[in-house]
Amino acid sequence: MSEPIHTSVLLKESIDHLNLRAGQTVVDCTLGLGGHSLEILKKIGSKGHLIVFEQDEENLKTAKERLKKFEKQITYIDENFENLKSQISNLKLDSVDAVLMDLGLSSPHVDNAERGFSFKNDGPLDMRFDKRQTLTAEKVVNSYKENDLADIIFKYGEERKSRIIARKIIEERKIKPIKTTAQLAEIIKKTIRTKSKTHPATCVFQALRIYINRELEVLEKTLDDAINLLKPKGRIVVISYHSLEDRIVKQKFKYYTKDCICPKELPLCQCNFQKKLYILTKRPIIPNSIEVAKNPRARSAKMRVAEAI
């Protein structure tokens, strides 16, 4: 079986901004197919140590094969990166030199119809990164109440017609269960009339995927843990792909640049909060036109970088 084709987004930019040196301990929170990890391993050398998180069993298998000559330097953790803090503690470490988070979908998620992430090829409504979890898109679409469905579509997809879409989904599932990506996409397409080149189901599929995998909640928690694990001068690089993710990263970085988090009405500081970060990217770094032309999936990527004090 041939290796899935995947092009790592902002590869050179992310590796350069991690500011890696030989012998360092680095965490790749989103191993995927191992593109970023391979370049990290080259930078940290034979005495370096890379800790990687990957909850997708198929991606993990592919990445291990790709990185097999470095296996003695790598600790593989087949869990969601929300367990970053506890797993670093289990390894008897109290800090790391750098953390990378590439929040995008890997190519197999999009290209393999059986994973149910995309409506371009018909497949089961799944959308789980980790197949060990029980909640699927099919369960949400066919069992959730109308208001709950509408709230998910609006909150995580920023879809203004969420109420109309939710109502139509309820009507259609009364006739027969909605089991495939094409079935759901067609329902939405018939419900929303638009002149946009973007498929009208795009935001709904995004919303379901984010909700099922708890992506935003996990991101917010893990950013806290990652920032607090960085050694002085350690770097954190985060690549996000939609406004909800980017907003969380931007706000979290800004929070840790503060000297005080007390309410403004207090005359004196009582929080004893200590500034932890310098932001190195006033504006996010985005792919150039050459990269986007070669890899259209990179077009929405935004990279933010901060350094620990």
Please write the tens of the pLDDT for every residue from 137-174: 999 999 999 999 999 999 999 999 999 999 999 999 99
Q: Does the pLDDT value for residue 26 go beyond 50?
A: yes
Q: How much is the mean pLDDT over the chain?
A: 93
Q: What is the pLDDT of residues 100-113, one digit of tens each?
A: 999 987 766 666 77
Residue 2's pLDDT band, with cuts at 50, 70 and 90, is: very low
CATH numbers and ranges of domains, the chain = 11-108+219-308 (3.40.50.150), 131-212 (1.10.150.170)
Please spell the DSSP secondary structure of 260-296, one letter per residue: --S-TT-SS--S-----EEES-SS-B---HHHHHH-G
Q: Lowest mean pLDDT: which of 137-151, 158-172, 222-236, 264-278?
A: 264-278
Q: Is the pLDDT of residue 5 over 60?
A: no
Check residue 111 and give its pLDDT: 64
Are residues 108 and 115 in contact, defined by beta-carbon separation less than 8 angstroms?
yes
pLDDT of residue 119: 83
Mean of pLDDT values over 245-269 = 92
Contact between 287 and 10 (Cβ < 8 Å): yes
* Confidence at residue 77, expressed as pLDDT on a 0 to 100 scale: 98
Mean pLDDT of the region 58-76: 96
Cβ atoms 130, 80 nearer than 8 A: yes
Pairwise CA distance, residues 119 & 189, whole Å: 11
pLDDT of 1: 41
Burial of 258 (0-12, 13-18, 19+ CB in 10 A): middle
233-248 average pLDDT score: 97
pLDDT of the residue at 117: 81
pTM here?
Answer: 0.92
CA distance 142 to 127: 14
In the structure, what pLDDT confidence band is assigned to residue 236 with cuts at 50, 70 and 90?
very high
